[in-house]
Amino acid sequence: MKKICSKCKIEKNLSEFSKCKHYKDNYHCWCKQCKKKYNKQWKIKNPEYKKVYDENNKEKNKEYRERTKDRITEIKEIYYKNNIVKILKYQQEYCKNNKEKLIKRRKIWNEENKEYKKEYSKKYYENNKEQIAERKKIYHENNKEHKKEYDKKYYNSKANYDTFALQISWDNNPIRNIDGYLQTKCTYCGKWYFPVVSSVQYRITALNGKASSDGTENRLYCSDECKQVCPIFHKKTWPKGFKNYSNVREVQPELRQMVFERDEYTCIKCGKNQDELTVPLHCHHIEGIVQNPIMSADIDICVTVCKICHKEIHQEDGCGYNDMKCKN
């Protein structure tokens, strides 16, 4: 059976016409394509009509949905089975053309449904542990190189504050939140800096009593120079590159950091900043500890110098390491 559409005036099969009881043959006078075009144009011209109609007919809509639940689910299942390829293509094109809209919707939905999301994820993982484990194995086997690259980027990136703040906020690790990233002070120089994810994770393991085999505490340092010079690093009494003078005393960490902050982490002799130097900064006493032991912790008799300038200072007459060491 065929019928002529009164809109486009084309003869088509009855399957291309929607059913309607108001007509003698129980089919609408317009074909489905013409009807869709007309409905789209009408919605554009009357955008507020649907909102007003839904508000005035909430109870009717609920009753209708409850009556036709089973029927709608059956129709949807049949439609999805017969049109899987068409649906997938449409979804891909829609996602490409509407990335920003989808991201905004997800953010809004996640903020409004945090508790529901947590409960749903817990139930899903409990009911599908085996399937999730199999998917992870297959994914890791097929994406080993990609995982290595991702791990390098992640472990060498800035540490997230929300992820690590509660685990590392101990008395000896002052922290603060800067644009969602964790910032802490260097153990040696006391400068605020952004630690890397790997160093923060190693520090957390040490704080939990799981230090490495060589006894390191995995403290946080802003650079390798500060790490090598710090006497606490690797629990060494004497840092690398220094001679073991048994009568020389180490500068107090708090005093050293206060002097560095006052001098803005710049050597007073060569005028170079810590970022420009390839050697670490040292805290130098203008008056030696032997000559003035009472004022040894006074910030006014201390200055900031780099390692090279510090050696040059102690090569002058009366300021050598042999002259400055404590005599018992």
pLDDT digits (tens, 9 = 90+) for 158-176: 999 988 888 876 556 788 8
Q: For residue 239, is it within any domain? A: no
Together in a domain, 257 and 310: yes
pLDDT, one tens digit per residue, over 275-328 is 888 888 988 888 766 666 666 778 888 899 998 998 888 887 767 655 555 444
Q: For residue 189, is it within any domain? A: yes
Structural domain boundaries, residue 27: 1-50
Q: For residue 62, is it within any domain? A: no
Together in a domain, 261 and 309: yes
Together in a domain, 200 and 249: no
Together in a domain, 222 and 165: yes
The mean pLDDT value for 203-224 works out to 76
Q: For residue 59, is it within any domain? A: no
Q: For residue 307, is it within any domain? A: yes
Q: Please, which contacts does 252-259 make with residues 24 or more away whose CB atoms are closer than 8 Å? A: 252/297, 253/187, 253/188, 253/190, 255/283, 255/297, 255/299, 255/302, 256/188, 256/189, 256/190, 256/283, 257/185, 257/189, 257/190, 258/190, 258/299, 259/283, 259/299, 259/302, 259/303, 259/304
Together in a domain, 205 and 263: no
Specify the pTM. Answer: 0.48
The pLDDT mean for the chain works out to: 84
Q: Are 260 and 189 in contact (CB under 8 A)?
A: yes
Please give the Cα distance from 279 to 309 (Å, whole number).
10
Return left, alpha or beta for 74; rule: phi > 0 is left, psi -120 to 50 is alpha, else beta: alpha
Together in a domain, 190 and 252: no
pLDDT band at 231 (very low <50, low <70, confident <90, very high): confident
What's the domain count of the chain?
Answer: 4
Q: For residue 156, is it within any domain? A: no
Q: For residue 254, is it within any domain? A: yes
